[in-house]
């Protein structure tokens, strides 16, 4: 027998098998993952025999969405003496930023909203001691990251209310049970967190649960808050699966809330989701028009964000802002405790709605200013007196903090290009030159049951203190701002450094009963290490 043909045939078979195996390897190997992907997604699958096929892990995609933030620049006081913005009590950006750092990843720059980092923490502001619903506090010192500049902190504190006197609540939980919510950090976390809130409901409160996946449905009709086991049982039955008809769910939730409306009470839809609406009316504009319409009917919206990988942060922030509500991100049971137990009661009672702040700077004292953060809350100066223009709400005992970086008059500090006017000139009034006032803070708000705003005016005289003599709250809030600018790679970060952030934060940690400031210090240390990679 001539074995040469058989030998050649065997060689050809080996070559073909090897080529087929190589093709399997190339096909199975996924594309290089984006930074957020798990390491397992990038493994190359080895060749296997047909009897034991090896499958590549499913691809992991990052479809998180954040709106572009264009930082506030310096404004010349002569040309633009007024700074106008809406208050913001959201805290989602801080918890979301923490999630990235705990995953040993720096957050995307547009995920960092500095005002939400500042307002994540509580500060020692005294509440109003008169009939007004809020009180103002200011402090001024050196700017830690730009020595020739100054820093002004403005604090706003809502009046505190006895919890027993909070009006009854009509709450409709709108819960996303689509397939994207199956991860442990989403629906399972929510199911563990909600019972903490259920325990706080009173007999006069009403609770309903609406869910949505491929379609929307009523899981629990409006039920007295005293029937806690009935409510808890409905929560335990929730399971994830299907596509995401978010708009249909919102419409049903508002319908249930309207049918059980409590006059003079807190009527609110609480949306818990990763924001991945993909069935039905889901564009930002459609959802915003819907929540604005319901807001005008007295139905407010709170948004709780969950999970990672497909978090639609930009969408959730917008609909919460336009729904007269707030937006929080929950990444752990401890954060759920903070949001649902310690802070939820404040959102249950609005003490002032459509709160707008307008600061007029004295050009004899200040050359230029920059509001740090609040980029998506900036208002036109004409909006301040326009009661049709929506703004933020302030709950019982809630606080809002904003910081301005200023360039003093006479300083050589860079403030950007200054236009020369051809047809007019600006002359300072004698009052501007002869007063100690550096600015006047004006505030407009509406009482919760009214549609006409009230005006408060606070002339502020210079109260400069050296940085080392300022309050712990000033030092800590300035450390949070500097930290945020470093994460955002801000063009205005000047001589900022994580070292300086940590020095001031550690010095200003204070009592820190809840440990939030200690956690911030740990996160700043982690961010410093990650930024050095």
Same domain as 440, residue 307: no
Answer yes or no: is pLDDT of 33 > 50: no
What counts of helices (H) and strands (E) characterise the chain?
14, 16
155 part of a folded domain? yes
Residues 404 and 502 in one domain: yes
Asked if the structure places residue 424 within a domain, the reply is no
Task: Give the pLDDT band (50/70/90) at residue 412.
Answer: low
Cβ atoms of 403 and 118 within 8 Å: the answer is yes
Domain span at residue 253 reads 165-348
Parallel, antiparallel, or unpaired for β 327-330 and 300-306? parallel
Q: Which long-range contacts (CB under 8 A, 24 or more apart) does 198-203 make?
A: 198/225, 198/228, 198/231, 198/232, 198/235, 199/228, 200/341, 200/344, 200/345, 201/169, 201/171, 201/225, 201/226, 201/228, 201/231, 202/168, 202/226
223 belongs to a structural domain:
yes
Q: Is residue 276 part of a domain?
A: yes
For 93-150, what is each residue's pLDDT tens digit?
999 999 999 999 999 999 999 999 999 999 999 999 888 999 999 999 999 999 999 9
8 is a domain residue: no
Final residue in a domain of this structure, among 300, 319, 348: 348
pLDDT category of residue 286 using cuts at 50, 70 and 90: confident
How many independent structural domains does the chain possess?
Answer: 2
Confidence of residue 245 (pLDDT cuts 50, 70, 90): low
Q: Among 315, 330, 348, give the residue marking a domain's end.
A: 348
Query: Is the confidence at residue 32, as pLDDT, over 50?
Result: no
Report the pLDDT value the prediction gives residue 236, as an integer from 0 to 100. Answer: 94
The per-residue pLDDT for 430 is 80
Mark which of 348, 364, 399 sits at the end of a domain.
348
CB neighbour list of residue 154: distance below 8 Å, 6 or more residues apart: 136, 137, 138, 357, 359, 401, 402, 403, 404, 441
Pairing mode of beta strands 134-142, 150-158: antiparallel
DSSP string, 165-214: GSPPEEEEEEEE-SGGG-STTTHHHHHHHHHHHHTT--TT-EEEEEEESS
Domain of residue 496, CATH code: 2.60.40.1230
Kindly state whether residues 360 and 217 are assigned to the same domain.
Answer: no
pLDDT attached to residue 12: 56
Supply the pLDDT for residue 419. 58
Query: Does residue 178 sit in the same domain as residue 252?
Result: yes
pLDDT, averaged across the chain: 85
Three-state secondary structure readout of 255-318 = HHHHHCCCCCCEEEEEEEECCCCCCCCCCHHHHHHHHHHHHCCCCEEEEEEECCCCCEHHHHHH
The DSSP call for residue 14 is H
- 325 shares its domain with 228: yes
Q: What is the pLDDT of residues 306-361, one digit of tens each?
A: 998 888 899 899 989 998 889 999 999 999 999 998 888 777 788 999 999 999 99
The reply to whether 217 and 98 lie within a common domain is: no
For the cut 90, the answer to whether the pLDDT of residue 49 exceeds it is: no
The band of 475, judged by pLDDT with boundaries at 50, 70 and 90, is: very high
Half-sphere exposure in the Cβ direction for 162 (13 Å, CA): 2
Residues 206 and 319 in one domain: yes
What H or E segment, with its residue span, contains residue 431? Answer: helix 430-434
Q: What is the pLDDT of residues 357-369, one digit of tens each?
A: 999 999 999 999 9
Is 426 inside any structural domain?
no
When pLDDT is averaged across residues 46-50 and rounded to a whole number, the result is 32
According to the model, what pLDDT value does residue 8 have?
52
Q: Looking at the structure, tell me whether residues 188 and 134 fall in a common domain.
A: no
pTM of the model: 0.84
* 41 is a domain residue: no
Residue 40 lies in a domain: no
Residues facing 207 on adjacent strands: 171, 223
Residues 388 and 462 in one domain: yes
Q: Is the pLDDT assigned to residue 11 strictly greater than 60?
A: no
């Amino acid at each position: 027998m001539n074995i040469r043909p058989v030998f050649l045939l065997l060689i050809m078979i080996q070559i073909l098998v090897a080529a087929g195996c190589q093709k399997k390897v190339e096909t199975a190997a996924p594309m290089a993952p984006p930074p957020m992907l798990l390491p397992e997604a990038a493994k190359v699958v080895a060749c296997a025999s047909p009897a034991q096929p090896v499958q590549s892990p499913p691809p992991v995609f990052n479809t998180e969405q954040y709106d572009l933030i264009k930082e506030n620049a310096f404004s010349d006081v002569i040309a633009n003496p007024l700074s106008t913005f809406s208050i913001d009590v959201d805290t989602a950006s801080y918890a979301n930023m923490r999630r990235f750092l705990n995953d040993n990843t720096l957050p995307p720059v547009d995920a960092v909203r500095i005002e939400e980092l500042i307002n994540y923490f509580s500060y020692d502001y005294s509440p109003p001691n008169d009939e007004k619903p809020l009180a103002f506090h200011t402090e001024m010192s050196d700017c830690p990251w730009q020595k020739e500049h100054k820093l002004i902190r403005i604090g706003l504190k809502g009046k505190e209310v006895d919890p027993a006197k909070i009006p009854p609540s009509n709450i409709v939980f709108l819960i996303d049970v689509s397939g994207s919510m199956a991860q442990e950090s989403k629906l399972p976390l929510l199911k563990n967190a909600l019972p903490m809130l259920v325990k706080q409901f009173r007999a006069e409160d009403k609770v309903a649960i609406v869910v949505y996946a491929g379609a929307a449905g009523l899981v629990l009709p409006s039920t007295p808050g005293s029937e806690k086991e009935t409510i808890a049982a409905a929560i335990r039955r929730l399971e994830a699966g299907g596509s995401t008809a978010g708009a249909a769910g919102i419409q049903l939730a508002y319908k249930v809330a309207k049918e059980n409306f409590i006059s003079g009470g807190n009527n609110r839809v609480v949306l818990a989701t990763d924001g991945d609406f993909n069935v039905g009316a889901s564009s930002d504009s459609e959802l915003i028009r819907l929540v604005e319409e319901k807001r005008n009917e007295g139905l407010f919206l709170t948004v709780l964000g969950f999970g990672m990988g497909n978090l639609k942060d930009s969408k959730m922030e917008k609909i919460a802002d336009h729904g007269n509500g707030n937006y929080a991100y929950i990444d752990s049971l401890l954060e759920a405790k903070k949001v649902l137990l310690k802070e939820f009661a404040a959102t249950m009672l609005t003490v002032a709605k459509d709160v707008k702040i307008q600061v007029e700077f004295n050009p004899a004292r200040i050359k230029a200013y920059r509001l740090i953060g609040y980029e998506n809350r900036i208002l036109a100066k004409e909006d301040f007196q326009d009661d049709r223009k929506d703004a933020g709400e302030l709950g019982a005992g809630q606080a809002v903090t904003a910081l301005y970086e200023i360039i003093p008059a006479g300083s050589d500090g860079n403030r950007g290009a200054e236009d020369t006017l051809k047809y007019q000139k600006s002359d300072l009034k004698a009052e501007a030159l002869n007063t100690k006032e550096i600015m006047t803070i004006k505030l407009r708000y509406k009482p919760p049951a009214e549609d006409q705003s009230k005006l408060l005016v606070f002339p502020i005289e210079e109260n400069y203190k050296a940085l080392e003599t300022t309050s712990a709250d000033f030092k800590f809030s300035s450390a949070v701002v500097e930290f945020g600018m470093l994460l955002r790679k801000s063009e205005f970060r000047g001589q900022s450094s994580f070292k300086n952030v940590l020095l001031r934060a550690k010095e200003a940690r204070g009592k820190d009963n809840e440990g939030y400031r200690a956690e911030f210090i740990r996160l700043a240390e982690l961010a410093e290490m990650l930024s050095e990679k």
